Structure 1
Amino acid sequence: MSETPQRSGTVVLHEHALDAAARHLRADADVLLVGDVGSGRTTLLAVLAERLRGTGTSVVTLAGSRGARDLPLAAFSTHPTLRPRGGARWGLPEATSVLAEAVGTGPAVVLVDDAHLLDDASTAVVAAVARRHASRVRLVLAAPSGTDLDTAAPDLAREAAVVRIGPLGVSATSALLADRLGGQVEGNLASVVAGRSGGNPRVALALVRAAVDAGVVARVHGRWAQTGALDTVRADAVALGLLADLPQTARRGLDVLAWFGLVDLATARRLVGAETLAALDAAGRVVVHEGGREPTVTVSPPALGQVLRLRLSPRADADLRALADGTLGTGVLPPPALALPAGVDVAGQDTSSGPASQQVAILTESVRTQASQRYRTWLEKRDLVNALSLLRLRLLDNFTSIDVDEILQGTVPSPDDDPDDLGSYVLLRGQWAAATGGTLRDGMSHDPGPTGRLVLPDLEDRVLDALERLYALEPSTVGVADLEGARVPAPLRDFVLVLQVQAAVETGAPDRALELLDGWSGSRRQHAIGHQLDALRGDALLLAGQVDDAIAWSRERLSAAYDDLSMLGVRLAARGLATGLFVQGDHDGARRTLSVVLQTGRCGPVQSPYDERILALAATLRARHGEADLAAALLDELRATPRPYLPALDFAVPWATTEVAYFRAGGTEPPDGEPLWAAGEEQLAAGRLAGAAMCWAFAPLELTRDRLARLEELCARTRLTIVRPLVHLHRAIALGTSAEVLGAVAMMRVPGPLVHVALDVARRRAAQEGRGELTEEQVRAVAGAALAAAVGRPQVRAAPLTGREAEIAVLAREGLSNRQIASRLYLSVRTVESHLYRAMQKLGVSDRALLGTLEETVLVEG
């Protein structure tokens, strides 16, 4: 089966797979290109053929066909140039001769699409020619994931190097959608579509096209954005593309599994049969999640499960209910309500380290399945337990299909209600009121339900007033003192602890924050509070300079959150882990960690400030990686993030703005640190000492003596070990010699705006000291190769250029503009910018014009 082309003349996907295939071919190895239906195998073969021809290699393309699988030499009979002419005799010898003539006498590659569908006679011809000319003819075979090509075409697949086409990430999905929609795409839309599609290009395009037709995706302020609920979009083209080659039994099995949502493995086998389940797994249409208490099964990708549920007729729904009752017993496993559709994907033994598309799928399916089951139960018994679960799924996990007002107005109290549950319910109701234009006080004090009695009876006005001040958009944290000695109801004490720990963090006392957390013995039933306290512990450890401990703690909490399938827990733990990895200098690890939380969407409306650091880190990392447009889109979303309350350590927006502006300019222009310093002034005036210290410490400025004194005095008032290297660097920049500046720079892990300022100062001081021009070798001796690259061109690259990076660097060296390069190579301008940025980083060239000073051999050597 031929794949739908995934290139419209500008965007080429899966560059890593193309580079890997080319690398194996240069090593005289055959290649087996494996990818999901819709991943773009056919297009990759076409792009590879184009590039090979550009190197003087003879290329012959063939394709298998399901309809002609049993017709001898079908691949040749329908070929535009290799088919038989006139009435000449045609058989294996003739086909072999024609193919041998086509490959010529020099280097050649035979590309075979859908090699698993190649008829036996055509397979024999290709194998014969490849054996006869083994020294110069290579094979590139393409087949869908799960195909047993060793059985289908053993003579072709033997010893071939396997190259897997992985799922698209957020950046590639953004580029694809922007190309097809004809305009820039909001980062959140690209992220969510990447998650829902499982990174499958065909599915992503089908989902977005259906969403545009349904009016839930539209242009907003010049960018394509999500304007409605994607859960309601029925993208039938998704099912058409992914199910076409599946037998009827497999399709029926998927209908069953999609209807159930997240189902345990043993039940899935009983419902659809072990053989069918294994076949669906091999085809990539389901995934088994090994984490948690027991293995579970979901449909993959999530968009497929969604469309299967949405298109079920009432008769089919009744049949599935009968199947569930007959197989499992009546009421054993309540199915999801069709009013709240679900959707799913993957997982592995260690869920927290598996592919992002897999982690996203299992999390989203878990939320939707819980919502469906809880909603059905709540309709039958409108009690506090089911209502609280639904409110958490909507207000914390952002499952938008749940109507909050319906839940609040329909829930009734019971004598069996747990006090902690009541406290959580009242708090969520107050937070929802604060997020929707009301006040925390009104939401906590008044129950709009049928009895009006779901309130905390012993909630004093003094406590309400203090909580109101602390939770509102007031920057000061001193209001915590108002709660000292107050009679706080037991169900709210953990929430008050969150506020107390935040206050300790904000006043620059991470040790006090850790002391408070060590004394916590609250109820784990208040899941959201527990996740917030866990996140605050990670922040406190980081501020105290215990980076390794913070990373280990976040990893532990992330693993536990995956086991519990807690969306909020995963978001907060991943946020903490990404922060720690960023501080440690592991930017690739931080970017991978954030990929999961971005694809799951945004936090719920009452916890949206937690999105700020996620978006700030993501924007900064994308900018550092050369993905300027995506970085800008994420930064816009960061600035527009709703704020029902101020987050702890409120420096994400000015910091990310400074970082993105610097790296979008290529890291060659002096950064503007004044906005970040001004933000610190505002933080300090509000009593938020930690936020002020972070703003000032990160500000890329050559500080005056007065400013340096203020920074040092502020840090002396706090116990923020993490900023000490930054303060030391600022002191060296303001007062030190060139050697002292370089010594302070050596404490930094990676280049950035502040390092740029420091190196400029070091150059100037070296000249003033009579040392002459500061060389890259001098910086390397003190600060290491990574930071030395910011001074001059390194003699030895830290990493070789990829084939594409070298190709673009050579063309840029010849004077071609990015647009001219894009036109010549059939790439987008954005892709050219990204590759050129990474190539210049590796070459240590800060200015495009300096490429002309390099020898071409430096650009193309591996």
Structure 2
Amino acid sequence: MKTWPFTERDDVLDAAAAALRERGAVVLGGPAGVGKSRLARELVARSTGPVVGTVRATASAQEIPLGALVDLLPRATVDGASPGVDHVRAALDALGAARGGLLAVDDAHLLDDASATVVHQLRRSGRVRVLVTLRSGEPPPDAVTALWKDEDVPRIELEPFAEDQTAVLLAAVLGGPLEARTVRLLHRTAGGNVLWLRHLVEGERAAGRLVRTGPTWAWTGEVDLSPALRDLLDARIGTLTDRQRRVLELLAVAEPLGLGMLGTLVGEDAVEDVAERGLVAVLPDGARWEVRLAHPLYGESVRSAMSVPRVRRIRGEISVALSRTGGRRAGDGLRRAVLDLGSDRPLDPDELVRASVQASGLRDFVLAERLLRAAIAAGGGFEAKLGLAHLLDYEMRVEEADAILAEAGAEATDEERRQAVVLRALSHHFQLDPPRPGEELLADDEARHHDGRRDPAYDGIRAMMIGSAGGVDEAIGVAEGILALPDAPPDDVALAAFVLGLCGAVSGHGDPLAPLIERGIDAAAVATNAAVATNIGYMELLDADLRGEPGRVGARLEWARGLTGPQAPMFAALYEARVARSTGRSHAAIRALASALPSFPGHGGGWGGWGTALLAQCHGVLGDGRAARAAAEEAERRRHPHIGVVGFEYDLARAWAAAASGSPREAVETCRRGAQAARGNGALAAEVLLLQTAVRCGDRDQSDRLGKLHRRLGSTRSRLALAHATALAGHDPEGLLAVAAQLDEAGLVLEAADAAAQAAAAARADRRLVLASEAEQRARTLAGDEARTPALVEAEAPVPLSAREREIALLAGGGLTNRQIAERLHVSVRTVESHVYRACTRLGLPDRAALVTVARGAARTAPSSPDD
């Protein structure tokens, strides 16, 4: 198996290397498979001194004195059956001969006592540096423990990888990004254990279940343990008694289980035994204790050895045990329903429907679909069929949803018929590809059953269609009317909250949306259209972005990261992308979008085109014109014809593509046209963003309009966009730097970088080169490697210094006197003074200190003029 790259441990590597350099020893601890050995190999490979040797302690050599070190010692040192003090002293002399060398000991918890003593004494003598790894939770020999207990050797604990670290590692291994869902599945299955992740990925890739689909890798999540991984797991689990294995079987089928219930089912002593062996974790959960498997792959290993009848019997047994508790916990009903699906117990359709609502609220729509299909098969009626149709519609399986609704409509009541019409209208209007006008379905039903009069039951869906099309003010009025009703159905509340979230964000209407968003999400959790919750939550991020307050969405982003179910990762990635884009982290936004967009084929219910437009903006901000134009064209191809309200995103995509392609004038004109369209729709907050982008690209004519918008909206973005436009129009470098500071404080980092860059250009035009250099450095610091915009490019105009003038100025900046500089360059002092004088005169600088400042900035820009 090919060695995986070393990545995502640089901080630990630096700390360990510093400990070896400064203290002469370091201990690396952590669970099995966390990457201790890989880190130790990297430290050995990067060691600058001699390497005494690398040894790995094993259980088989633990009974042999000096067994771990035998390969490093002369034969005479280990002759004799039972080494004593003389043998240890001889080993110390042999290994300590390479003074300053490095001895690496892997799995030191398995060292025999004699070897452990040698390692300890080598550390105490200071003759060699010692690098030790050991497994946490395993008792090491006393001499090894003494390293950090008595000798004050730094001990660094390695933790399992976090999900973002797993994503970076896998992208490096596979040579491309992974779908967000695949990253989460692989990370959770391996539990952050790098060794097991490696075997899992290699096995699934060889089996053809981890495959590249377009630019990204995708995995089904159906684990079939490879022989190598199975051996690792079996070795870790070890030999079990029947009751100990039964504990693992119960948990493999339905973890977590309450400690009391598990003890009743199998015996408290058996639970204690497997807990002491580290195979299960016993954790507090509110007022009770829960038991889980210590690693997800233990469950895969145990389940693979269980027969189908045994699994079905155990599922039924646990379901009955849960029923005896009276379903005291909120999730017990859902757990029982899921267990019953694969058990030998009879199914209750009403319980399955109730469980499906819980599953949808938890964003696990695959499970919800299983529950609803089982409910229909068990005799469930309209409620089960409507719930299933909603899920199918959400997954853009519109024809299947229509078929379910047609079957359900034959025996539907008037209220049920309305629910079916709303769902079909939503489905046809937004999910079909290509879509059909949903209004026609509403009008047809109103003609049949209301003599053509407007049915208030359809106000929620009607507001959604109007608002999505761009009728912002009208949609807000209808949605506010729904929320004012004291008994509005949860489905209508969820739709109205979505409409107000979307339209409120683009218009800048009203207060920040967080309370409204929370109300909508709460309603969606108990509604048939539970899937709309993620759409509602996203509007809080959009609102914060357009108001220029990206820092206030932390709680909503964490909420998205905590979503469960197969669809959760792709929406979490969309949230990550929005926040990264608005806070100036272009590369992170591109990575997040690359993992999310494959899950939204075609127009993706609107998300496909919208997300691709964001992708184009990010590439454009980075100055990659080709990628930006390609993404902008793809966004137009995927653009949803019924969702015009976010047209400003497509305008921004085209504008940044033009800017990155060397056409800032085209970018300005695109932003102006987009702003005019946004104004016509009432999308005033979107208009501000477009005009601010035009200003960033050099438009000096937006102060008046931005002033009117700020008086209307009063948002952070409108205030700062106005200040930026005013300073640019006034050719005011100090004003632009002041705006840059305010933008940076607001979290609008790349907007700040452009303002600082424009300050540099304005100052340079006035031949105020010191201020220009300072502003340019500020712009470069803010932008980092996250942007290359027209303003930043213009700010990098070369300063006319010869190579020798710049060299002398930089040496002066390092504190050298003219005489010291002359000695360094082997020239006369007069020559140094002449270069300084000529440069200051040509550039209009007052003194040597000003020349140093200018030269420091010029050293990072264009090539210098030839030396004189």
> Could you state the TM-score of these two structures normalised by the residue count of structure 1?
0.66
Cα distance per residue 1:430-456 (max 9 Å; x no partner): 46247445379947853459x854883
Superposed displacement of residue 104, structure 1:
3.8
Deviations 1:443-492, CA, capped at 9 Å, x for gaps: 7853459x854883462999678756865688999999999995455xx9
1:757 & 1:479 partners in 2: Cα distance? 48
1:31 to 14, 17, 26: 26
Q: How far did residue 225 of structure 1 move? A: 2.5
Cα shift readout 1:545-578 (whole Å, capped 9, x = no counterpart): 99999599989999x99xxxx9997998699689
- 1:216 maps to 2:209: yes
Partner of 1:768: 765
> Which position in structure 2 is the counterpart of 1:305?
299
Amino acid at match of 2:211: A
Is 1:386 the counterpart of 2:386? The answer is no
**3-state DSSP of counterpart to 1:446:** helix
SS in structure 2 of the partner of residue 7 of structure 1: coil
Separation in structure 2 between the aligned mates of residue 776 and residue 551 of structure 1, nearest angstrom: 46
Q: Secondary structure at the match of 1:645?
A: helix
Cα distance change on mapping 1:503 and 1:197 into 2, 3 Å: farther
Q: Report the 3-state secondary structure (helix = DSSP H, G, I; strand = E; otherwise coil) of the residue aligned with 1:298.
A: strand
One-letter amino acid of the structure 2 residue matched with residue 131 of structure 1:
R
- Gap runs ≥5 in structure 2: 447-451, 629-655, 797-854
* 1:677–1:36 CA distance, 2 compared to 1 (3 A): farther
Contact 1:535–1:576 under 8 Å retained in 2: no
Distance (whole Å) between structure 2 residues aligned to residue 627 and residue 82 of structure 1 = 54
* Deviation readout 1:317-365 (Å, 9 max, x if unpaired): 378469859xx85964899xxxxxxxxxxxxxxxxxxxxxxxxxxx9x9
Pick aligned residue for 1:742 from 732, 737, 744: 737
Report what 1:662 is aligned to.
621
TM-score (norm 2): 0.66
Do 2:257 and 2:291's aligned partners in 1 also have CA atoms closer than 8 Å? yes
Structure 1 stretch displaced more, 56-65 or 33-42: 56-65
Q: Does 1:759 align with 2:720?
A: no
Residues of 2 paired with 1:138 and 1:585: CA distance?
49
**C-alpha distance 293-142 of structure 1, shift in aligned 2 (>3 A):** same
SS at match of 2:577: helix
Return the index of the structure with the highest Cα Rg: 2
Counterpart in the other structure of 1:40:
35
Aligned to 2:68: 75
The answer on 1:194 being equivalent to 2:155 is no
SS of aligned partner of 2:217: strand
AA at the equivalent of 2:111 = L
CA contact (8 A) 1:13 1:172 kept: yes
Three-state SS of the structure 1 residue aligned to 2:104 is strand
Q: Which amino acid aligns with 2:575?
A: I
Q: Tell me, in whole angstroms, the C-alpha distance in 2 between the residues paired with 1:145 and 1:223.
A: 36
Q: Any conservation in 1 of the 2:390–2:423 contact (CA below 8 Å)?
A: no
CA distance in 1, matches of 2:499, 2:346: 36
Matching of residues 268-417 of structure 1 within 5 Å: 268-271=262-265, 277=271, 285-288=279-282, 290=284, 294-314=288-308, 316-317=310-311, 320=314, 332=324, 372-373=338-339, 375-376=341-342, 380-381=346-347, 383-387=349-353, 389-390=355-356, 393=359, 396-399=363-366, 402-403=369-370, 406-407=373-374, 410=377, 412-413=379-380
- State which of 135, 145, 150 in structure 2 corresponds to 1:154: 145
Residue of structure 1 in register with 2:392 after alignment: 432
Structure 1 residue matching 2:742: 3-state secondary structure: coil
Shift of 1:47: 0.9
**Cα drift, residue 845 of structure 1:** 11
Q: Which residue of 2 aligns with 1:7?
A: 3
Equivalent position amino acid for 1:299 in 2:
L
How far off its partner does 1:429 sit?
A: 1.4
d(CA) in 1 for partners of 2:543, 2:277: 37
Residue by residue, what CA displacement relative to the aligned partner does 1:675-717 show, whole Å, maximum 9, x if unpaired? 9849956973994726843751563642546667666666777
Out of 116, 120, 128, the position equivalent to 2:113 is 120
Which residue of 2 is the match for residue 97 of structure 1? Answer: 90
Shift of 1:378: 12
Asked if the contact 1:210–1:234 (Cα under 8 Å) also holds between the matched residues in 2, the reply is yes
Task: Check whether the contact 2:191–2:296 (CA below 8 A) recurs between aligned residues.
Answer: yes
* One-letter code aligned to 2:221: L
Deviations 1:530-556 (A, max 9, x none): 699599779969996999995999899
Partners in 1 of 2:724 and 2:265 — Cα distance? 64
User: Does the aligned pair in 2 maintain the 1:728–1:744 contact within 8 Å?
Assistant: yes
Matched AA of 1:746 = A
Given that 2:576 and 2:589 are in contact with CA atoms closer than 8 Å, whether structure 1 keeps it comes out as no
Cα deviations by residue, 1:815-834 (Å, 9 ceiling, x for unpaired): xxxxxxxxxxxxxxxxxxxx
Contact 2:26–2:153 under 8 Å retained in 1? yes
1:264 aligned residue: 258
Indicate how the Cα distance of structure 1 residues 626 and 439 shifts in structure 2: closer, same or farther if over 3 A, else same: closer
Selected match of 1:245 from 226, 230, 236: 236
1:613 aligns to 2:578 (yes or no) = no
Q: CA deviation at 1:128?
A: 2.4
- For the 8 Å contact 1:263–1:296, the answer to whether it is kept is yes
Task: Report the 3-state secondary structure (helix = DSSP H, G, I; strand = E; otherwise coil) of the residue aligned with 2:27.
Answer: strand
Tell me the SS of whatever aligns to 2:415.
coil
Please, which moves more after superposition, 685-694 or 89-98?
685-694
Q: Distance in 2 between matches of 1:735 and 1:427?
A: 60
Q: Letter of the 1:98 partner, please give it.
A: A
CA deviation digits over 1:238-258, x for unaligned, max 9? 443234133434655323311
Corresponding position of 1:830: none
Equivalent position SS for 1:75: coil
Per the alignment, do residues 644 and 393 of structure 1 end up closer, same or farther by CA in structure 2, a change over 3 Å counting?
farther
CA contact (8 A) 2:426 2:438 kept: no
Change (3 A) 1:531 1:689: closer
C-alpha offsets along residues 215-264 of structure 1, whole Å, 9 cap, x if unaligned?
332222254323xx313644564443234133434655323311223322
Task: Show the counterpart of 2:605.
Answer: 645
Q: Which has the higher helix share?
A: 2
- Cα distance change, pair 623–142 in 1 and its aligned pair in 2 (3 A): farther
By how many angstroms is 1:43 displaced? 1.5
Query: Is the contact between residue 675 and residue 687 of structure 2 (CA under 8 Å) also seen in structure 1?
Result: no
- Shift of residue 110 of structure 1? 3.6
Evaluate the alpha carbon distance shift between residue 87 and residue 117 of structure 1 in structure 2; reply closer, same or farther with a 3 A threshold: closer
Distance 2:214 2:123 in 1: 56
Take 2:516 and 2:117, find their aligned partners in 1: how far apart are those partners? 55
Query: Is the contact made by 1:654 and 1:679 (CA closer than 8 Å) also made in structure 2?
Result: no
Amino acid at match of 2:347: K
RMSD over aligned CA atoms reads 6.1
Matches for 1:493-508 after TM superposition, within 5 Å:
none
Counterpart residue number, 1:602: 567
Q: Distance in 2 between matches of 1:98 and 1:780?
A: 58
Cα deviations across residues 796-837 of structure 1 (Å, max 9, x unaligned)?
Answer: xxxxxxxxxxxxxxxxxxxxxxxxxxxxxxxxxxxxxxxxxx
Q: CA deviation at 1:82?
A: 6.0
**Residues 456, 169 of structure 1: CA spacing in aligned structure 2 closer, same or farther, 3 A cutoff?**
same
Note the C-alpha offset of 1:75. Answer: 0.9
Alignment match, 1:624: 585
Alpha-carbon offset, residue 595 of structure 1 = 9.5
Unaligned runs of 5+ in 1: 336-362, 794-843, 854-862
Letter in 2 for 1:764: A
1:389 offset after TM fit, Å?
A: 3.2
- Counterpart amino acid of 1:231? E
